[in-house]
């Protein structure tokens, strides 16, 4: 499985990437919306982990851009914004799942596996 993590907190991103690598999951890191666009232009991903607060804007704008362009790649929002309103807004704009920080690495990995499994099943129908 290859995923894209869009996260500007370097220590958090490195921890997630190391944990996922131990499970055989390849994770590319984009530290901004622009970096994420560049990564997506040259690589297909089975899922995207997306923060909301990024240095060059809101991750929600990237999410809207993806969905507006017909991209159905599963997106898991991983953010410190964890109010019900924040979660509802992201889900209504096309996020497939939402996990607030702090989080347990095992739960993040399980949610990614579930998202990818559902998308794989959908494509096989």
Average pLDDT over residues 45-63: 97
SS3 content of the chain, % helix, strand, coil (to 5): 50, 20, 30
pLDDT at 121: 77
pLDDT at 51: 97
pLDDT at 123: 73
* Residues 3, 25: Cα–Cα separation, whole Å: 7
pLDDT at 120: 79
Q: Taking 90 as the threshold, does the pLDDT of residue 122 lie above it?
A: no
Mean of all residue pLDDT scores within the chain: 95
Average pLDDT over residues 27-52: 97
């Amino acid at each position: 499985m290859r995923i894209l993590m869009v996260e500007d907190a370097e220590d958090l991103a490195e921890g997630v990437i190391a944990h996922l690598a131990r499970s055989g999951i390849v994770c590319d890191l984009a530290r901004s919306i622009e970096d994420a666009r560049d990564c997506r232009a040259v690589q297909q991903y089975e899922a995207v982990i997306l923060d909301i607060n990024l240095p060059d804007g809101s991750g929600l704008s990237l999410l809207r851009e993806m969905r507006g362009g017909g991209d159905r790649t599963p997106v898991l929002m991983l953010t410190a914004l964890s109010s019900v309103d924040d979660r509802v807004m992201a889900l209504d704009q096309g996020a497939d799942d939402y996990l607030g920080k702090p989080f347990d690495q095992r739960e993040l990995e399980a949610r990614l596996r579930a998202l990818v499994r559902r998308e794989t099943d959908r494509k096989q129908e």
